[in-house]
Amino acid sequence: MNKKVLTLFLLFAALMVSGTALGAEPLTLPSVDLSIGGSEGPEGVTKAIQIVLLLTLMTLAPAFILMMTSFTRLIIVFSILRQAMGVQQSPPNQVLIGLTLFMTFFIMSPALIKINETAVKPYMSGELTQATAFTKALDPLKGFMIKNTRKKDITLFQELANSDVTEEEIANIEQDKNLVSMLALVPAFITSELKTAFQIGFLIYLPFLVIDMVVASVLMSMGMMMLPPVMISLPFKLMLFVLADGWYLLVGSLVQSFH
């Protein structure tokens, strides 16, 4: 294989040399020019920096969706449900992520509508500056996160940040959202979401665990120790989930679990 590649390379080089010798135009490569032009004033530099920051925020958008919305709780519960049922790739990851995204938009729609009305539209019409619009956009998002975060977690990260906010102020933090910064609120929100998701997952796992134990006991009493219990229990778990209208109950309960 290497000899063939070497032969083709030599043949190509010979053709190039012969073409040049016969007066043919030599092969030219396009040139690339990367340059940074000067700015006539500080306004141009400021706009360039804003564009760079905007592109950076766009690359971090998936992390914002994961860390500051209901996405984390939903995807963890759906993953635990799939593992409890014993089905490895059904529903597939694309279906679960798509369902989780649309449920996230549905749950976050009041906050998104408020952000659009109080921050995006005034900023696009020139009524607000960029800094003011960003501050107003954070208020509905902070309100959602504070309502769904345990005060215990907020207190923990406020203490780790050496904040002067007292526990009494944190208890009434919904009235004054400025008492807690996003730097402390985001990890507190994620910690609270993880705890809630695992609590819901534990409750979902129990009925399927009972079915597995019953099937395993029956197979052992019949002497069928070589038969995998998962193979027998899977149809019963699917039947239980379908007869109980599990998706309807689970999706409705998850949506109602958010304040």
Question: What is the pLDDT of the chain when averaged over all its residues?
Answer: 76
Q: Could you tell me if residue 200 is inside a domain?
A: yes
Q: Could you tell me if residue 49 is inside a domain?
A: no
At residue 78 the predicted structure's pLDDT band, cuts being 50, 70 and 90, is: very high
- Sorted by sequence, the CB contacts under 8 Å of residue 149 that are 6+ apart come out as 185, 188, 189, 192
Q: Could you tell me if residue 3 is inside a domain?
A: no
Q: For residue 96, what is the DSSP state?
A: H
Q: What is the number of structural domains in the chain?
A: 1
Q: Could you tell me if residue 35 is inside a domain?
A: no
Structural contact between residues 86 and 230, judged by C-beta atoms closer than 8 angstroms: yes
Q: What is the mean pLDDT of residues 183-191?
A: 87
> Is the pTM above the cut of 0.75?
no
Q: Which domain holds residue 252?
A: 60-256
pLDDT at 4 over 60: no
Q: Could you tell me if residue 184 is inside a domain?
A: yes
Q: Could you tell me if residue 52 is inside a domain?
A: no
At residue 167 the predicted structure's pLDDT band, cuts being 50, 70 and 90, is: low
How far, CA to CA in Å, does 211 sit from each of 50, 198, 205? 57, 20, 10
Q: For residue 30, what is the DSSP state?
A: P
H helix or E strand, kind and range, residue 215: helix 182-221
Q: Could you tell me if residue 246 is inside a domain?
A: yes
At residue 24 the predicted structure's pLDDT band, cuts being 50, 70 and 90, is: very low
Q: Could you tell me if residue 21 is inside a domain?
A: no
- Collapsed DSSP state (helix, strand, coil) of residue 22: coil
Structural contact between residues 185 and 142, judged by C-beta atoms closer than 8 angstroms: yes
91 preceded by a cis bond (ω within 30 of 0): yes
What does the alpha-carbon distance between residue 38 and residue 44 come to, in Å, rounded to a whole number? 9
Residue located via tokens 């920096």: 49
Tokens of 228: 């995998």
Q: What is the mean pLDDT of residues 136-148?
A: 85
What does the alpha-carbon distance between residue 123 and residue 133 come to, in Å, rounded to a whole number? 6
In 125-173, which ranges are E strands?
Answer: none
pLDDT tens-digit series, residues 218-257: 877 777 777 777 777 888 888 888 888 888 998 999 988 8
> 225 — phi, psi (to 5°)?
-75, -20
Tell me, rounded to whole angstroms, the distance of Cα 9 from its chain centroid. Answer: 49
Cα atoms in the 13 Å half-sphere on the side-chain side of 73: 27
